[in-house]
Structure formats: C-alpha cells, structure tokens
Chains A and B, each alone.
Chain A
Amino acid sequence: MHELSIASAILDAVRKEAEKRPGVRVRKVGVRIGALSGVEPEALSFGFGALVQGTDLDPLALEIESVPWRQRCPPCDLTFDVKDEGLACPRCARPETLMAGGDELDLAYLEVEE
C-alpha cells in the first residue's frame, strides 16, 4: 500500500536527474522491483501514472523489471529462485542459504531525448 510514496520518490529522483541535464526530455524511467521489496508492480504503475499526469514530466513512461527472490548456497556455489519449496538448497538440502536478490527497489535507467 505504499506504492504512491514509492512512485513519488521515483518522480523526485527523475526530476533531480533531469535538472542536471538541461535541454533533455526524460521519456522513460526504468526501475527494478524485487519480489521482497513489498511493492506491487501494478499498483506502482497505477500510482505513477496518476502522479505524473499534468506535471512538467508528463508524458513519462515507467518500465518495471520484476526480480525474483533468489538465495545462494555457498558450499554448492548454487543460486536459485525461491518458490514454494522454501529456502533450503535444492541440491544439498541445507537450510542455511543466503539472500542473493529480491529486495531491489532500484532506479535502473532513464531514456532521454535531446
């Protein structure tokens, strides 16, 4: 339910970046959202669209790359996606694996026009 705050943080960051580059128009912002970030991509897109409408940045597209939750088993040197089976290593079954991805809430890129 905090997607509107996240959308607003993305817009603030885009505006800051745009100010550093006078004369360019930002057309798209790319974000990376991990499965553990607590952010629902659909709600984020909706909130982003509502916030950007009618502002100086409109039209601005949002592209979301969803990142799965990944764990790593150091002894096996194996990284795997976490599904319903839990966090144990699918090869050696040891339960102590380390988080290797999924909490991303990152600004990845901007697409701009001169």
Chain B
Amino acid sequence: MDRIPLEKKVLSENDRVAARLRDRFREHGILCLNLISSPGAGKTTLLELTLGRLPKEARVAVLTGDIQTDNDARRLARFGFPARQITTGGACHLDARMVERALADWQLENLDLLIIENVGNLVCPSSYDLGEAAKIVLLSVPEGEDKPLKYPAIFLKSELLVLNKIDLLPYVSFDMARAREHARSIHPGMEILEVSCTTGEGLDQWIQWIKKRGEILRAETAKLPTLGR
C-alpha cells in the first residue's frame, strides 16, 4: 500500500469559491459582513433596526439563511432594500456556493454593503468562509456569559462581538464584565459593542462600526495593485 501525502484543506473547494466572492466584493468596494449567532439571539431584529436607520438611498442588501421558511427575508424586505432568503433545506450553515448562487442575478456594482445573516448556530458557520470582510458574532444576554468559552472557534474568528438584549440585564444573571473578559481571553483584540434592540441603546455605535469598517475596507482595497483604481 502506498501513502500519498495530500496536505490540503477539506473545505478547499468552499475556500476557492469564497476567494472568488471576496475578489468580486473588493472589486466593487462592497463591505460584506457575516452575522453569526445561536437561534433567537436577535440577528434578524438587529438587521431590521439597522435597515430602518439607513437612508433610503443607502446601497445595501441582505441575504438571510435558514433551514426552512422565508420569514426572515419577508421581514427584511419591508425596508425597501434587496433581501433574499437562502433556504438550506437542512444544512446548519451557509456555504460560499449558496452565497454565490443567491447573488447570481444581482448587480453588485449597485452595492456598498452586503450583510449575510447566517443560519442560527454557533458551531458550523465558523468553518465556512463566505468571502466576507468580517465575521460578527452576536450573543444575547439570556444565553449566559460563558458562551465564548463553550464555543471558542466563532469568538476567535469574529472581529466584533455584539452583546444584545442588554435591556434584560436586570432580570437575568449575566455578568457583563465576565462576558467581556471571557471573550477577550479567547480573542484579545476583539471589539465589543453592547446593544438593545428593544430600547435602541448602542445602535448608533453599531451603525458607526459598520461605516468605519467600510472605510477601512475601501482604504485597503485602494492599496491593492490589481484592484485599486
């Protein structure tokens, strides 16, 4: 029996498609964000409030992944921006090919911001690159402050932690200082925002973060010899 070394990624096919998407996003100056959380942490509500705060002329679109139903896309389409559901039919995560297919007939030159709402799950989505500029993990207060320790991969790979439902802090035993400490013990440079989609607290900072991140991306893109214009 001969042994042939391979030394490649199991998901190299996904990574290849993701790299192609990332190039297209850069070429059009699009900030693509991959929003990940457990089910019920408030991804769709945060997106509703985000879209509701953007000016009508904002060049933004959302893709939203779920195992079944197009409820989320219908919720998000009310704001007048392009919103499309990706129904995975059982898969617990989005992969790059699903994103590429969903974007097939969209005019990317008309976009500055694409937010992808992943399937609610803190494990599987962390393995799949979607071509995003940044992963964002959303953690809601009722879930408990030990989530970064239980699901370290997604906290390591996410640039930003959004702590949601902070209006519930008086009613649940959630230690905010410890939550921040746990997240930074896993990912020392992690940015952290505290928001409440019920009271609106922290939403201005969240919108500011997106704007700033878009500027960083476009500054980086301008420096790339093949893509800069």
Contact = CB atoms under 8 A, between A and B. Distances in A.
Nearest to B122: A38
B1 A111 contact: yes
B13 A9 contact: yes
Nearest to A82: B152
A97 B205 CA distance: 29
B123 A109 contact: no
A22 to B, nearest CB: 14
Interface string B6-21: 1111111110000000
A109 B124 contact: no
B139 to A, nearest CB: 17
Interface string A24-67: 10011001000011110000000000000000000000000000
Interface residues of B, number: 30
Nearest to A14: B6
Given A69-B152, A96-B188, A99-B156, A107 B1 contact: no
Contacts of B121: 1
A10 B156 CA distance: 25
A74 interface: no
A19 interface: no
Nearest to A29: B6
Interface in A59-114: 69, 86-88, 95-96, 99, 103, 105-114
A105 B93 contact: no
Which range holds the interface residue count of chain A? 35 or more
A111 to B, nearest CB: 5
Contact of A2 (B1, B9, B127, B153): B127
B217 interface: no
A39 B124 CA distance: 8
List of 3 A-B pairs having minimum Cβ-Cβ separation, nearest first: A2-B124, A36-B153, A38-B123
17 contacts: A5-B95, A9-B10, A9-B14, A13-B6, A13-B12, A17-B4, A17-B6, A36-B153, A38-B124, A38-B127, A38-B153, A69-B152, A87-B186, A107-B10, A110-B6, A111-B3, A112-B1
Interface of A: 1-2, 5-6, 9-10, 12-13, 17, 24, 27-28, 31, 36-39, 69, 86-88, 95-96, 99, 103, 105-114
